[in-house]
Amino acid sequence: MKPYTQYWVRTALAAACGAALSLGVVAQGTTVDFSSARGTGMNQQDVLMENVRVQVPVPNPFQPGTTSVVTTNYNVTFRFDPTTLHLVPVGIQTTDGVGCAEAQVTVYDAVRGAAAPLANASVTIGSRTLTTNALGVATFSQLPEGMTSLSAAASNYTSASQTAVLQCASPNQVAVALSPAGGTQGGLGSGQFRIILTWGENPRDLDSHMTGPAADGSRWHVYYSAKTAGGMCALDVDDTSSLGPETITCPPTNTTATLQPGVYRYSLHHYSGTQNIGTSGASVRLEFGNGQTYNFTPPATNYVGSKDVWTVFELTVQANGSVSVAPVNAVMPGISAGSVTSTQPIAAGTGLGQMESPVTFRDLTK
């Protein structure tokens, strides 16, 4: 794209944001069309808007005084500006033409894990929908490089959407895990919530950790060596060989437990493997029995690699049963020495909640 064309595209998108993402004609006659666009939340401040059609009038050098309209489709990442209350475009990529990326999307049962891939699930990326094979895999080719969203659906399961960053250098391994639908075996009921972690091929082993309130005022810690500690939550599946899923359900299914009032804190620990949490393609989805869903992706920060900890969110249960969610979205690098002891929070993260104490993740072994 020519520099002046790119300038007007960015100007048009910015103006469109200020107009509450409506279809309209903006600066220099450029038209931004959102009629076929699809939006997906990436984290607490970014949203990916796909299939944004931009029509730019370009001077026709062969007929002076006239213009030709050039139409291009884009995926645009917007970031919320709390000062102006506007969505500001921070990333733009074209989706026209033949892409160079390949994605192998595997769909799993979130409760049974990697041992239960879902055949005949529908996976949608952009305008293309494929059906998974007997191994739960749908393979897409010629996709545009960069950020994209995908959705998955299967009979008797709750549909889910998440984002992924696709690269052209090698096939992209993407995992999606679906919860059984409410009213079916493993489905969420009233007063329950579930956390589902999936990621890519590297790092090999990312671990889910949940701490929460005990009736005596102490805090329990659910993880791979204490899957039901405290009796309030359960680690349904622990994956050690890439992709996931790792799933925590609170209260555990098939129990009569009710949520103890207090703060529940979820973190992700890079246990082993190459690369880091930021490049892992990790996706954390928080689901409630009433259908409400939150999606989280790793923050852009400096990662060390193995032993990094990403505290994702806090969930507070009040005495009357009401629940609130506060993103933390903070990373502690290189937690490796010491021992697992009590879990008191430390300074606040970039969201509203507190980061988990680093002693929670020291000297963990499998």
User: Which domain CATH number covers 304?
Assistant: 2.60.60.30
Report how many domains make up the chain: 2
137 found inside a domain: yes
- Domain termination residue (choose one: 75, 94, 113): 94
Indicate whether 276 pLDDT > 60: yes
Question: Looking at the structure, do residues 166 and 33 belong to the same domain, yes or no?
Answer: no
pLDDT of residue 138: 98
Question: Looking at the structure, do residues 228 and 167 belong to the same domain, yes or no?
Answer: yes
Indicate whether 343 pLDDT > 50: no
Indicate whether 54 pLDDT > 70: yes
Question: Looking at the structure, do residues 258 and 283 belong to the same domain, yes or no?
Answer: yes
Question: Looking at the structure, do residues 78 and 121 belong to the same domain, yes or no?
Answer: no
pLDDT of residue 141: 94
36 found inside a domain: yes
User: Mean pLDDT throughout 333-345?
Assistant: 46
295 found inside a domain: yes
Question: Looking at the structure, do residues 89 and 106 belong to the same domain, yes or no?
Answer: no
Question: Looking at the structure, do residues 227 and 252 belong to the same domain, yes or no?
Answer: yes
User: Mean pLDDT throughout 42-62?
Assistant: 77
Question: Looking at the structure, do residues 317 and 271 belong to the same domain, yes or no?
Answer: yes
User: Mean pLDDT throughout 131-156?
Assistant: 94
In angstroms, the CA 106 to CA 57 distance is 42
Contacts of residue 320, Cβ cutoff 8 Å, sequence gap at least 6:
none
- Domain termination residue (choose one: 94, 121, 150): 94
Within 10 Å of residue 2's Cβ, how many Cβ atoms?
Answer: 10
pLDDT of residue 270: 93
Question: Looking at the structure, do residues 112 and 260 belong to the same domain, yes or no?
Answer: yes
Greatest CA separation found in the chain? 82
Indicate whether 20 pLDDT > 50: no
pLDDT of residue 238: 93
User: Mean pLDDT throughout 312-335?
Assistant: 89
Question: Looking at the structure, do residues 30 and 137 belong to the same domain, yes or no?
Answer: no
Question: Looking at the structure, do residues 202 and 311 belong to the same domain, yes or no?
Answer: yes
Stronger pLDDT, 240 or 71, i.e. the higher one = 240
Contacts of residue 199, Cβ cutoff 8 Å, sequence gap at least 6:
175, 206, 242, 243, 244, 280, 281, 282, 283
- What is the span of the domain harbouring residue 295? 101-361
In angstroms, the CA 357 to CA 342 distance is 8
Indicate whether 149 pLDDT > 70: yes
Indicate whether 5 pLDDT > 70: no
pLDDT of residue 363: 66
Q: What's the chain's Rg over C-alpha atoms?
A: 22
Stronger pLDDT, 144 or 187, i.e. the higher one = 187
Mean pLDDT of the chain: 83
In angstroms, the CA 345 to CA 361 distance is 13
- Domain termination residue (choose one: 94, 128, 149): 94
Question: Looking at the structure, do residues 286 and 310 belong to the same domain, yes or no?
Answer: yes
* Each residue's pLDDT tens digit, 76-104: 888 888 888 888 888 777 776 678 999 99
Structure tokens at 54: 């931009």
* Each residue's pLDDT tens digit, 197-236: 999 999 999 999 999 999 888 899 999 999 999 999 999 9
- Split at pLDDT 50, 70, 90, the class of 17 is very low
Question: Looking at the structure, do residues 65 and 131 belong to the same domain, yes or no?
Answer: no
Indicate whether 347 pLDDT > 80: no
366 found inside a domain: no
Could you identify the residue written with the tokens 């490089």? 145
253 found inside a domain: yes
User: Mean pLDDT throughout 3-8?
Assistant: 44
